Amino acid sequence: MCGIAGIIHKGKSTNVGGEMQKMLQSLKHRGPDSTGYALYGNGESNNYILRFKVGENVKEGSSAVKEDESIYQERIEQVNKKISTSGATLHKEEQITPYSYRYVISYDGDLLDLAKQIESVEMTEILSLGKSLELIKDIGDASVVADQYDLGDFAGTHGIGHTRMATESGVDIRSAHPYWAYPFSDVSVVHNGQLTNYWNNRRALEKKGMRFMSTCDSELIAVYLADKIRNGIELEESMRGSLDDLDGVFTYLVATKDKLGMAKDHMAAKPMVLYESDDLVALASEEVAIRTVLPQEIDTYDPYEGEVKVWQA
Amino acid sequence: MASIKKHKSAEMGLHDEVLTGRTQQVFFNPEEGENFFYHDSYKVDFNKRTEIDANNIECIDINRKINELMAKGYGTIVIKNPGSKHSIGVGILNKLNLIIEGSLGYFGIGSVDGPVVRISGRVGWSCAENMMAGKVVVEKNAGSCFGAAIRGGDLICKGSVGARSGIDMKGGTIIVGGDAGAFTGFMMQRGRIVILGDVGPNLGDSLYDGTIFVGGSIKSLGADAVEAELTDLDIAWLKRKMKVAEIEKKIDYKKITKIVSGKKLWNYDNLEPTERKGAI
């Protein structure tokens, strides 16, 4: 099943972390295995915020292989060396969990080169690398993850999130949503549905040099959009193209530094409820999620089949 | 040889109405209203009114409360603060005047037989699924699968509905004041659908039987759906139903498009003769 949600405030920064937590917690019944947030904050003085992990959460219910935590320190030392040799400068280092880190770095070079260097360290995966995007995902429901990563007070303009019921791949962080559209800063994707031409598309994209970190079909959407953007195609046009190029049943949300978009397949087989006002847009798999942030009676509707919409922050 | 018993439906006053199309939908004769009753139903007084505040109550408890109130003879129940919760009003097998002040989530008013329900807000997916009889009026929009597999009754949405409205419908009437999405009337087997606005692609795909009326544009017809001639009898029926639906919008009935089954039934017709026997 899975649940997706998103909210964007037009021209205003607010407690988007707390809002997304409430929305995603109300969708727990659609996906209790893991929860992910892609939050767009106010940034760190034009520096890059790097969210990454050097291991997996191996608590009960996880399908990840258990490792000795002492190995994480060795990996972190290697990551720090890679950052330094890539010409980036590390300004701030925060350890959030034994396996998850938030860095603030400055860097003028090619993001793809930097990302490749960091991910050359064993079991290391960049969750996000951007000037306003912070991508957090872990095993557990929305409140568990928000408490673990202290997201309740996160301020920003917009965010998207996902509650996952694992069907196509394991219960682990690498298979959790959102996905960062590697190697483009500040682009993230969440998806509800199944893609039936995953391997055909994946093979074609890998031949073009695109990178996949999981076997989760949803990652394909992020990589597909990244490839289009890399070729100079605008976000909205890329999303329209995805409706014909991706087979299956799906509704997905995509966010960039200042935009939030949604796309629904031609069959309209996956739900999405939308509310739009002059101040904000809120959308989710179920209206009950929107009502956690807008408890008053509101006018909502289901976008139709084949619909693509993009809103500006 | 055992004698054939008179069927219960005949005892209840049911009869077949012969229509010009292929539909064999069964209607109640209003002159035989006294024969129309529900087994094991509660005797309720529509003038006996009460309220349920759904705030902080799980849907299962709301539905249990509705049942308890009907058992006490309440014939008019108002649900306040429904908060788009799922499955509110499911399984009401009774005459009842149910008023929802707000919006419902998924599967609202499902599997009901007899109540008249008014919803001032919106409904999520699969509203009134499997409804047997009664009337449900939604003032705003509805999600996908509106009226999935209904057997009878009148289901009305004054706004627009999502995809697959009337999927697997086996009787009754669905009336939509606005637009409808893709696959409206998908695998419909009986009954009628009226869409006053525009309809998305694949209208009436795999339609077995029944009739679909469209006031606006049709993006495309599905397999098995064909256009038919709109008769005076159809227009008279539509006018009557618009009154039931409480839709006051001005309608040019002569511009309505009527869609029925072309009876191609691709999957079935492509079977070998021996395979067809197995499919029946």
Q: Which residues of A touch B184 (CB under 8 A)?
A: none
Asked if A29 is an interface residue toward chain B (Cβ–Cβ < 8 A), one would say no
pLDDT of residue B21: 45
CA separation for the pair B157, A39 (Å, rounded): 37
pLDDT of residue A175: 86
- A residues 229-268 lying closer than 8 A (beta carbon) to B: 266-268
Please, are residues A228 and A181 in contact by the beta-carbon 8 Å criterion? Answer: no
Asked if B159 is an interface residue toward chain A (Cβ–Cβ < 8 A), one would say yes
B112, B140, B168: which is the final residue of a domain? B140
Cis ω on the peptide bond leading into residue A98 (within 30° of 0)?
A: no
**Token pair recorded at residue B235:** 């227009």
Q: Domain check: are B165 and B259 in the same one?
A: yes
Q: Which amino acid is at B66?
A: I
Cis ω on the peptide bond leading into residue A183 (within 30° of 0)?
A: yes
Q: What DSSP character marks residue A151?
A: -
Q: Domain check: are B265 and B199 in the same one?
A: yes
Task: Calculate the alpha carbon distances from B170 to A225, B135, B186 in Å.
Answer: 43, 16, 11
CA separation for the pair B24, A187 (Å, rounded): 55
Number of structural domains found in chain B: 2
Interval B130-164: pLDDT, tens:
999 999 999 999 999 999 999 999 999 999 999 99
Residue in the structure block whose two tokens are 């966010």:
A255
Cα torsion for B148, B154, B157, B162, to the nearest 10°? Answer: 20
Asked if B80 is an interface residue toward chain A (Cβ–Cβ < 8 A), one would say no
CA separation for the pair B203, A302 (Å, rounded): 18
Q: Domain check: are B191 and B277 in the same one?
A: yes
**Token pair recorded at residue A168:** 């196509």
Q: Is residue B148 part of a domain?
A: no
Q: Domain check: are B161 and B279 in the same one?
A: yes
Instruction: Answer yes or no: A216 catalytic.
Output: no
Q: Domain check: are B190 and B216 in the same one?
A: yes
pLDDT of residue A100: 96
Query: Which of B83, B141, B200 is facing A291, going by the closest CB pair?
Result: B83
Q: Domain check: are B210 and B247 in the same one?
A: yes
Q: What is the DSSP string of B42-92?
A: ---EEEEEEEEE-TT--HHHHHHHHHHHHHTTEEEEEEE--TT-TTTTTT-
B140, B174, B194: which is the final residue of a domain? B140
Q: Is residue B29 part of a domain?
A: no
Q: Are B85 and A288 inside 8 Å of each other by CB?
A: yes
User: What architecture (CATH level 2) is domain A43-131?
Assistant: 2-Layer Sandwich (3.30)
Q: Is residue B125 part of a domain?
A: yes
Q: Is residue B73 part of a domain?
A: yes
Asked if B103 is an interface residue toward chain A (Cβ–Cβ < 8 A), one would say yes
* Residues in chain B with pLDDT values less than 70: 1-39, 263-280
CA separation for the pair A86, A129 (Å, rounded): 15
Q: Domain check: are B93 and B126 in the same one?
A: yes
Interval A228-253: pLDDT, tens:
988 999 999 999 999 999 999 999 99
pTM: 0.86
CA separation for the pair A48, A105 (Å, rounded): 5
Q: Is residue B197 part of a domain?
A: yes
Q: Which residues of A touch B182 (CB under 8 A)?
A: 266-268, 304-305
Q: Are B201 and A305 inside 8 Å of each other by CB?
A: yes
**Token pair recorded at residue A282:** 């809120």
Domain A3-42+132-312 shares a fold with domain A43-131 = no
Q: Which residues of B touch A300 (CB under 8 A)?
A: 103, 122, 141
The catalytic residue among A1, A2, A208, A281 is A2
Question: Which structural domain, as residue segments, surrounds residue B224?
Answer: 157-280
Q: Domain check: are B195 and B245 in the same one?
A: yes
Best of B58, B103, B206 to disrupt the A interface by mutation (most A CBs within 10 Å)?
A: B103
Q: Which residues of B touch A271 (CB under 8 A)?
A: 124-125, 143-144
Asked if A291 is an interface residue toward chain B (Cβ–Cβ < 8 A), one would say yes
Q: Domain check: are B185 and B89 in the same one?
A: no
Residue in the structure block whose two tokens are 């495309």:
B220
Q: Is residue B36 part of a domain?
A: no
Min Cα distance B244 → chain A (Å) is: 25
CA separation for the pair A91, A47 (Å, rounded): 9
Residue in the structure block whose two tokens are 């909502």:
A300
Please, are residues A270 and A264 in contact by the beta-carbon 8 Å criterion? Answer: yes
Q: Is residue B178 part of a domain?
A: yes
Among chain A residues, CA nearest to B186: A267
Domain boundaries, chain A: 3-42+132-312, 43-131
* Residues in chain A with pLDDT values less than 70: none
Q: Domain check: are B102 and B186 in the same one?
A: no
- Partnered with residue A52 across adjacent β-strands are A101, A126
Q: Provide φ and ψ at B179, rounded to 5°.
A: -95, 170
**Token pair recorded at residue B118:** 């008014």
Q: Which residues of A touch B125 (CB under 8 A)?
A: 271
Q: Are A299 and B122 inside 8 Å of each other by CB?
A: yes
Q: Is residue B30 part of a domain?
A: no
Q: Which amino acid is at B230?
A: L
Q: Which residues contact B278 (CB under 8 A, 6 or more apart)?
A: none
Superfamily of domain A3-42+132-312: Aminohydrolase, N-terminal nucleophile (Ntn) domain (3.60.20.10)
- A residues 129-158 lying closer than 8 A (beta carbon) to B: none
CB atoms under 10 Å from CB of B81, counted, come to 15
Interval A175-220: pLDDT, tens:
899 998 888 889 999 999 999 999 999 999 999 988 888 888 888 9
CA separation for the pair A171, A3 (Å, rounded): 16
